[in-house]
Amino acid sequence: MIGKHAGVVVVLLALAADAWGQRLAPEVVVSNPQVFEVAITTKFVAPENGEKLSELRVWHALPTARPWDGLDRTMGASSITVEPETGHVQHLSSNESQNVLWELRGGLEPGTKFEFTSRFRVRSADRDYDVKRSIAQWSDYYQTIGADAPIIEEKLDSIVDAIKKSHPPAEAALEFCKWVAANLTYDASVTYDPRDLGSTLKNRRGHRGHQARVFEAMCARAGLPTRPVVGLNLRVPDGLGDLHKIRPDYENQHTWAQVYLPGSGWIEIDPGMGAKAYFIPAQLIQNNADFQNYVVWVRDPETWKLVEWVVRDGQWTSAYSIENRRSFRRIESK
């Protein structure tokens, strides 16, 4: 453990043009405003064997401002504190990114244990898209199904094409989500990468990241623009639920998506929720677009590398005994 007292980071809460400049579509209904206090803790151990580390960098993602969290005008997170106090907040307006960064040079002796914690408050709300009010039409995209449509697999291609022919864009996106929820069993223990669509479709199972990738592939074939969304799913207050047992940096995190609907803009959609995919509860909180919740890089000793996870004997593991927890508590909304 480094440091005994949390250092308070004073942040100028300027508006992010890309976040607060976007219009809240009238088709989006916002309700049930809530405030959460969140703590993210990353544990790291310098390995006993192998090359001595010369540098360590740890990032924690922070929520970004969105039109539905407009209870006050912040950058999406407020009351930010960090421990050790050497951490500092970074803002990148170019991609709506906000994070905490720690940089350590020296003191990385084999076997040394480190712990990094960021705490913040975030405002959120339930949001629901009224698909019946959508004015988006396929002609708005200037694209048609044809030989250039991305190929997924023969059976799924025909399903996507049929849905597109019989539904307008907003409804088609919802139909894709219904297919995903009905045909892909949720299983956070799978070891293949979400980008491996072949394995996901063959095994018909995966976590939310796998479901989101299949949804994106279906939208791509139909000509619907999408972009990924990563962030928090504040479900288990202490961050030590069933997912954490599968891999000690899982739990209280989520992957979903946005779909572009002309007339409404970028609309959140959660593929694994099927018929309820357009309803996004307050507990789902968007982070920056760079990474999901945290990331660790090491220099060993001259080459930088991203700390990765591998499966050994059926268990997820990292070479640095990493654990990442996201805990929270709800506080009264004013």
The answer to whether position 279 is within a domain reads yes
Range of the domain at 57: 7-128+288-331
The answer to whether position 257 is within a domain reads yes
The answer to whether position 1 is within a domain reads no
**Residues 279 and 297 placed together within one structural domain of the fold:** no
pLDDT in tens, 120-178: 999 999 999 999 999 999 999 975 555 578 889 888 999 999 999 999 999 999 999 99
pTM here is 0.87
**Residues 117 and 140 placed together within one structural domain of the fold:** no
CATH number, residue 237: 3.10.620.30
Residues 73-97 have a mean pLDDT of 83
The answer to whether position 14 is within a domain reads yes
**Residues 298 and 275 placed together within one structural domain of the fold:** no
pLDDT at 333: 60
Question: End-to-end alpha-carbon separation of the chain, Å?
Answer: 36
**Residues 135 and 278 placed together within one structural domain of the fold:** yes
- In terms of pLDDT, which residue wins out, 329 or 98? 329
The answer to whether position 307 is within a domain reads yes
**Residues 209 and 231 placed together within one structural domain of the fold:** yes
Q: How many domains, the chain? A: 2
**Residues 124 and 220 placed together within one structural domain of the fold:** no
Q: How confident is the model at residue 320 (pLDDT cuts 50, 70, 90)?
A: very high
**Residues 192 and 321 placed together within one structural domain of the fold:** no
The answer to whether position 2 is within a domain reads no
pLDDT in tens, 170-222: 999 999 999 999 999 999 889 898 999 999 999 999 999 999 999 999 999 99
**Residues 195 and 114 placed together within one structural domain of the fold:** no
pLDDT at 6: 39
